[in-house]
């Protein structure tokens, strides 16, 4: 039997010494503690992030002023609420620093700050909920797709406006494409999104009507979930926003560049139906430690099911720090 050659797994670099150097430079320009939250395009805001935040905040102790760098495409809104709640327990005042994208659930996180500082490339987004349900429609790869409340409402409106449909009730036809339980789940998720925004804003906005107005606006006033809300529009909405200092913005962009290098997708191909994925998805970093969530798994393509399935999954959170001048990595176990 011919021995199968060993394949060297490609791994992304860990640039902790370099990121710590920039963090030290950033803290010199601020009047408070500084922590970072970064996720790659494949990463997302999730409940396990809360435990990573807790470890970083525990080392910092209670702060009068805390600065939070946020760069993320979003994720779980309830996790964002938990993160804001945790941050508020460790700081009297919070300023969100947003040099780049801060979308969806990340926008929710930013809403928990007393003030949001936005750079020239920065944007927030709408926070209307999209949902991937077990009964959602599937795409060409046989994977469930997300469906949003806005999308369903627009289909129903277009149906009513169309004179050629020939059917007064659109639901029987729609139910062939979208399961009735998905309709109910999305409606509930939309109500939850508004509730989360109101709760997050309540940490620093005392006017109940103002909280409700901002929450409903962010959930229903935009034709696209990813609609970019830049500084000027954020002011019109009524958010406490301002411009980011140019020097500080440049340092944050440099930090993002290092995180992006760490977060590059490191793919190792075994053959046409098998590959290994090793990728850093989420990063939470403070003055002396960083917590990274890393994908570390094989993928196999099942032709009969037309989809990729994970195998040998060793994905985990890792704690990164310096011990006696040497980089040390250890598992950070979260269930």
pTM: 0.82
Q: How far apart are CA 110 and CA 2, in angstroms?
A: 57
What are the residue ranges of helices labelled H in the chain? 16-28, 48-60, 77-90, 105-111, 149-161, 171-174, 180-201, 208-220, 231-237, 246-262
Closest Cα to residue 279, out of 268, 295, 302?
295
Mean pLDDT over all residues of the chain?
A: 84
Residue 10 lies in a domain: no
- Structural domains counted in the chain: 2
Crossing angle between the packed helical segments 48-60 and 77-90, to the nearest 10 degrees = 10
Residue 44 lies in a domain: yes
Structural domain boundaries enclosing 141 = 130-187
Helix (H) or strand (E) holding 64: strand 63-71
Mean pLDDT of 63-90: 93
Residue 254 pLDDT exceeds 90: yes
pLDDT tens for each residue of 109-137: 999 999 999 999 999 998 866 545 455 56
- Do 99 and 152 fall into the same domain? no
pLDDT score, position 57: 93
- Using pLDDT thresholds of 50, 70 and 90, give the confidence band for residue 4: very low
Closest Cα to residue 50, out of 37, 31, 61?
37
Q: How far apart are CA 4 and CA 268, in angstroms?
A: 16
- Do 117 and 243 fall into the same domain? yes
- Do 116 and 239 fall into the same domain? yes
- Do 75 and 101 fall into the same domain? yes
Q: Coil, helix or strand for 55? A: helix
Which of 162, 187, 212 is at the close of a domain?
A: 187
pLDDT score, position 268: 86
Q: How far apart are CA 11 and CA 268, in angstroms?
A: 9
C-alpha distances (whole Å) from 270 to each of 9, 71, 187, 266, 267 are 10, 33, 43, 13, 10
Residue 141 pLDDT exceeds 80: no
Q: How far apart are CA 230 and CA 312, in angstroms?
A: 42
- What pairs with residue 33 in β-bridges? 66
Structure tokens at 212: 């409700």
Mean pLDDT of 33-47: 91
Number of Cβ within a 10 Å radius of residue 60:
17
pLDDT tens for each residue of 283-329: 999 988 899 998 888 889 888 878 888 888 888 899 988 887 888 88
- Do 230 and 322 fall into the same domain? yes
pLDDT score, position 148: 61
Mean pLDDT of 148-175: 63
Least confident stretch, 99-103, 154-158, 243-247: 154-158
Least confident stretch, 125-134, 182-191, 209-218: 182-191
pLDDT score, position 155: 64
Q: How far apart are CA 42 and CA 278, in angstroms?
A: 12
pLDDT score, position 131: 46
- Find all residues with CB under 8 Å of 95, minimum gap 6, and list them: 32, 65, 66, 67, 68, 113, 114, 115, 116, 117
Locus of tokens 């099942």? 302
pLDDT score, position 20: 94
Percent of the chain with pLDDT over 90: 44
CATH number for position 291: 3.90.226
pLDDT score, position 190: 57
Q: How far apart are CA 190 and CA 228, in angstroms?
A: 20
Expressed in angstroms, the distance from the first to the final Cα of the chain is: 42
Mean pLDDT of 194-223: 88
Residue 208 lies in a domain: no
- Do 240 and 318 fall into the same domain? yes
Kindly tell me the sign of the dihedral angle through the C-alpha atoms of 132, 138, 139, 141.
Answer: positive
- Do 44 and 183 fall into the same domain? no
Please count the residues of the chain: 335
pLDDT score, position 137: 61
- Do 122 and 231 fall into the same domain? yes
Q: How far apart are CA 88 and CA 86, in angstroms?
A: 5
- What pairs with residue 266 in β-bridges? 278
């Amino acid at each position: 039997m011919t021995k199968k050659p060993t394949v060297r797994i490609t791994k992304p670099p860990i640039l902790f010494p370099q990121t710590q150097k920039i963090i030290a430079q950033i803290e010199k320009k601020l009047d408070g503690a500084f922590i970072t939250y970064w996720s790659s395009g494949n990463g997302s805001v999730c409940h396990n992030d809360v435990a990573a935040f807790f470890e970083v905040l525990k080392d910092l102790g209670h702060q009068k002023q805390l600065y939070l760098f946020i760069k993320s495409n979003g994720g779980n809104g309830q996790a964002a609420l938990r993160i804001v709640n945790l941050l508020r327990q460790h700081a009297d005042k919070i300023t969100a620093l947003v040099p780049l994208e801060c979308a969806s659930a990340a926008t929710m996180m930013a809403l928990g700050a007393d003030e949001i500082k936005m750079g020239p490339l920065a944007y927030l987004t709408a926070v209307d909920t999209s949902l991937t349900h077990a009964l959602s429609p599937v795409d060409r790869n046989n994977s469930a797709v997300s469906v949003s409340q806005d999308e369903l409402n627009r289909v129903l409106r277009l149906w009513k406006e169309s004179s050629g449909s020939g059917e007064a009730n659109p639901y029987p036809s729609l139910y062939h494409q979208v399961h009735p339980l998905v309709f109910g789940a999305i409606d509930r998720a939309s109500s939850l999104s508004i509730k989360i925004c109101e709760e997050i804003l309540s940490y620093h906005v005392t006017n109940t009507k103002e909280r409700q107005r901002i929450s409903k606006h962010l959930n229903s006033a935009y034709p696209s979930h990813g609609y970019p809300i830049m500084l000027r529009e954020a002011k019109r909405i009524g958010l406490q926003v301002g411009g980011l200092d140019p020097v500080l913005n440049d340092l944050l962009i440099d930090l993002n560049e290092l995180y992006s290098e760490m977060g590059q997708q490191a793919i190792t191909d075994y053959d046409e139906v098998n590959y290994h994925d090793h990728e850093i998805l989420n990063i939470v970093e403070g003055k002396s430690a960083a917590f990274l969530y890393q994908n570390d798994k094989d993928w196999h393509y099942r032709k009969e099911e037309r989809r990729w399935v994970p195998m040998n999954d060793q994905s985990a959170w890792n704690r990164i720090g310096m011990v006696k001048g040497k980089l040390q990595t250890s598992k950070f176990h979260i269930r």
